[in-house]
């Protein structure tokens, strides 16, 4: 790695650390050495666990769902219900990320139909030309507990 690349890694590493990445150096080195849009990938993923998966374990999160409220009233374990909701949220997020960033097309549609691609942009919204791919592959590693989903799936 040349001097320019090392400086870019250090700058990017500091940004990843500021944003709360668990392995800032790994993300930064990958972006620079492999020319992958890792910062865009990280930013796309970082709110999924706290906002869409772990939020189901928050006190009162299930009370507004009539079926869950009935189960809780009948004595169901709130932790078990929360885990069911978290697993469903994880599986939904994983499937959506896989569909959006791994396939890029509907395999059941005719071959002459369009596909799609998620692209990195500059801060002003211009395309950089780098595709954000396979977000589903990093979803488990983004677990803020650092346990790759073991608290949810355990």
- Assess whether pLDDT exceeds 90 at residue 152: no
Q: What is the pLDDT of residue 128?
A: 97
H/E run at residue 83? helix 78-98
pLDDT tens readout for residues 34-78 = 999 999 999 999 999 999 999 999 999 998 999 999 999 999 999
- Assess whether pLDDT exceeds 80 at residue 154: no
Dihedral sign computed on CA atoms, order 136, 140, 144, 150? positive
pLDDT tens readout for residues 112-136 = 999 999 999 999 999 999 999 999 9
Q: What is the pLDDT of residue 147?
A: 86
Q: What is the pLDDT of residue 42?
A: 97
Q: How far apart are CA 38 and CA 29, in angstroms?
A: 9
Comparing C-alpha atoms, which of 106, 86, 92, 93 is closest to residue 135? Answer: 93
Q: How far apart are CA 39 and CA 19, in angstroms?
A: 10
Q: How far apart are CA 132 and CA 121, in angstroms?
A: 10
Evaluate whether 136 touches 90 at the Cβ level (below 8 Å).
no
């Amino acid at each position: 790695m040349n001097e320019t690349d090392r400086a870019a890694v250090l700058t990017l590493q500091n940004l990843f650390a500021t944003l709360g990445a668990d392995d800032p150096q790994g993300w930064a080195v990958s972006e620079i050495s492999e020319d992958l849009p890792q910062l865009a990938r990280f930013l796309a993923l970082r709110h999924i666990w706290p906002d869409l998966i772990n939020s189901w374990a928050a006190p009162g999160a299930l009370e507004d769902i009539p079926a869950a409220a009935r189960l809780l009233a009948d004595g169901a374990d709130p932790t078990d219900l929360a885990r069911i909701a978290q697993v469903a949220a994880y599986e939904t997020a994983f499937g959506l990320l896989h569909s959006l960033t791994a396939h890029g097309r509907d395999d059941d549609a005719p071959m002459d139909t369009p596909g799609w691609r998620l692209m990195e942009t500059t801060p002003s919204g211009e395309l950089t030309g780098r595709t954000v791919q396979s977000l589903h592959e990093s979803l488990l590693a983004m677990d803020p507990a650092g346990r790759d989903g073991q608290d949810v799936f355990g």
